[in-house]
Structure 1
Amino acid sequence: MTKIEISDNTFGSSHQKTRLHNKNKILAAAAQEFKQYGFNGASISRIAETANLPRTNIHYYFKNKLALYGAVLTNIIDLWNQAFANIDENDDPAQAIANYIDAKIEYSRINPTASIIFASEILHGAPYLSQYLQTDFKYWIAEKAKVIEAWQAQGKIDKVSAYHLLFTIWGATQHYANFAVEIEAAFERPLSVEDFDEAKKTIKHIILKGCGLSF
Structure 2
Amino acid sequence: MNLIDATFLQSAQSIVDSPAPNIAEVAFLGRSNVGKSSLLNSLTNKKGLAKSSSTPGKTQLINYFDIKFKTNSEEMPYLFARFVDLPGFGYAKVAKSLKAAWNKNLTGYLQDRPNLQIFVHLIDSRHPELEIDKNVDEFLKDIKRGDQIIVNAFTKTDKLNSSELNKLKRDYPNGIFISNLKKRGIIDLQNKITGHLFGN
Q: Looking at CA atoms only, which structure, 1 or 2, has the larger radius of gyration?
A: 1
TM-score computed with the length of structure 2 as normaliser: 0.29
TM-score computed with the length of structure 1 as normaliser: 0.27
Structure with the bigger RCO (C-alpha within 8 Å, sep 6+) is 2
Greater share of strand: 2
Greater share of helix: 1
